[in-house]
């Protein structure tokens, strides 16, 4: 699990993260990004999540952290089989050691050590980092792009309500597990959105506040759908959503949620979703407009031996911004 290398700048050890490395990683973060990273956020992401650890460091002879290559290996549904796919995040190198090859060597060591356990690593880089990844690390952009959807609250709230009802959810229970089990066939390639995921990702976040709305059909005592919102001023973002067919359920859910948000002065809702997924199409039918993506992000993967073909992945992978650390 360790790899010793020597370059002109000295000798280095590429190895997994240890608990005693936290202070050194925080120093690396500040050097790389020019700002502090809170311990609570670091602990939430990597030490308190319900998943395995995939954290690799490149350390100098003096114990200085010079590269960090880390990710979270989410449990994922692949046509009924549970597998792992890793979202890369907080990847960084010390400014004094850039262009030395240490970053690329650490990345390849990460692939060697963890690649046997996961289908692929993924992320949402901009064009600059995508180009670097394609050139040196085997990254490939999905052939289907991300859709940016937005809607005026007034438009959504004006749609006719059906027979369901919404509720604000303050605690996560087994109803989320039952909803995932009911929906998973409609999501043949997706992070498993069960109670463990929702609780950790949204309720336990140490710095961001999310609002979780559930939808129940009158004919169904269980949870029929959920959506997670983050609110900033007069704008709300859908950070995550899970719903089965049919289309009218999502439309009614958005109508009732929009009425609730409108009463609080919110004027607009936006979200990012894969362009070809049925949820994207149902939101468009409900009143959302598909516009040019404003952030310049590219859904990107780096496949390993057991991964599906890129074209199949592009057609079937479901993701929301909850699958990233952007929001």
Domain residues for the domain of 192 are 146-295+314-322
Q: For residues 86 and 43, is the Cβ–Cβ distance under 8 A? A: no
Looking at the structure, tell me whether residues 105 and 162 fall in a common domain: no
- What is the structure's pLDDT at 40? 96
Q: What is the CATH number of the domain that holds 253?
A: 3.40.630.30
Residue 309 domain flag? no
Residue 327 domain flag? no
pTM summary value: 0.93
- What is the structure's pLDDT at 1? 81
- What is the structure's pLDDT at 219? 62
- What is the structure's pLDDT at 247? 63
- Which among 69, 101, 118 is the end of a domain? 118
Q: Which residues of the chain have pLDDT under 50?
A: none
Question: Residue 6's beta-bridge partner residues?
Answer: 11
The alpha carbon of 231 is separated from its chain's Cα centroid by a whole number of angstroms, namely: 18
Q: Write the DSSP string, 7-72.
A: ETTEEEEEEE--GGGHHHHHHHHHHHHSS---HHHHIIIIISSSS--EEEEEEETTS-EEEEEEEE
Q: Write the DSSP string, 222-240.
A: S--EEEEEEEETTEEEEEE
- What is the structure's pLDDT at 161? 66
Among residues 305, 312, 323, the alpha carbon closest in space to that of 111 is found at 305
Contacts of 51 (CB under 8 A, 6+ apart): 72, 73, 74, 75
Among residues 327, 144, 164, 176, the alpha carbon closest in space to that of 254 is found at 164
Looking at the structure, tell me whether residues 261 and 166 fall in a common domain: yes
Looking at the structure, tell me whether residues 15 and 150 fall in a common domain: no
Q: How many domains does the chain have?
A: 2
Looking at the structure, tell me whether residues 266 and 208 fall in a common domain: yes
Residue 261 domain flag? yes
Q: For residues 45 and 53, is the Cβ–Cβ distance under 8 A? A: no
Looking at the structure, tell me whether residues 103 and 153 fall in a common domain: no
Residue 53 domain flag? yes
Radius of gyration of the chain (CA): 21
Residue 126 domain flag? no
User: What CA dihedral angle connects 305, 74, 182 and 184, to 10 degrees?
Assistant: -30
- What is the structure's pLDDT at 159? 80
Looking at the structure, tell me whether residues 228 and 83 fall in a common domain: no
């Amino acid at each position: 699990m360790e790899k010793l290398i020597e370059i002109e700048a000295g000798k280095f050890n590429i190895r997994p993260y240890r608990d005693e490395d936290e202070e050194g990683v925080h120093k690396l973060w500040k050097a790389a990004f020019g700002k502090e990273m809170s311990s609570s956020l670091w602990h939430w992401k990597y030490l308190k999540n319900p998943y395995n650890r995939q954290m690799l460091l490149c350390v100098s002879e003096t114990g200085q952290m010079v590269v960090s290559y880390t990710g979270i290996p989410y449990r994922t549904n692949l046509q009924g089989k549970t597998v792992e796919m890793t979202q890369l995040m907080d990847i960084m190198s010390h400014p004094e050691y850039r262009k030395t090859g240490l970053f690329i060597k650490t990345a390849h060591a990460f692939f060697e050590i963890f690649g046997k356990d996961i289908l692929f690593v993924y992320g949402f880089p901009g064009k600059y980092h995508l180009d670097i990844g394609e050139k040196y690390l085997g990254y490939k952009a999905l052939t289907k792009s991300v859709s940016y959807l937005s809607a005026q609250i007034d438009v959504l709230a004006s749609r006719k309500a059906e027979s369901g009802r919404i509720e604000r959810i303050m605690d996560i229970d087994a109803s989320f597990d039952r909803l995932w089990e009911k929906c998973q066939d409609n999501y043949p390639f997706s992070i498993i959105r069960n109670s463990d995921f929702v609780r950790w990702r949204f309720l336990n976040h140490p710095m961001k506040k999310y609002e979780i709305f559930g939808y129940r059909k009158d004919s169904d005592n269980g949870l029929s759908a959920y959506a997670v919102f983050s609110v900033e001023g007069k704008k709300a973002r859908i950070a995550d959503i899970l719903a089965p067919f049919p289309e009218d359920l999502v439309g009614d859910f958005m109508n009732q949620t929009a009425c609730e948000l409108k009463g609080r002065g919110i004027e607009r809702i936006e979200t990012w979703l894969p362009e070809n997924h049925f949820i994207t199409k149902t939101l468009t039918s409900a009143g959302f407009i598909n516009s040019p993506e404003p952030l310049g992000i590219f859904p990107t993967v780096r496949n390993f031996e057991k991964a599906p073909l890129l074209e199949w992945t592009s057609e079937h992978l479901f993701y929301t911004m909850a699958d990233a650390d952007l929001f």
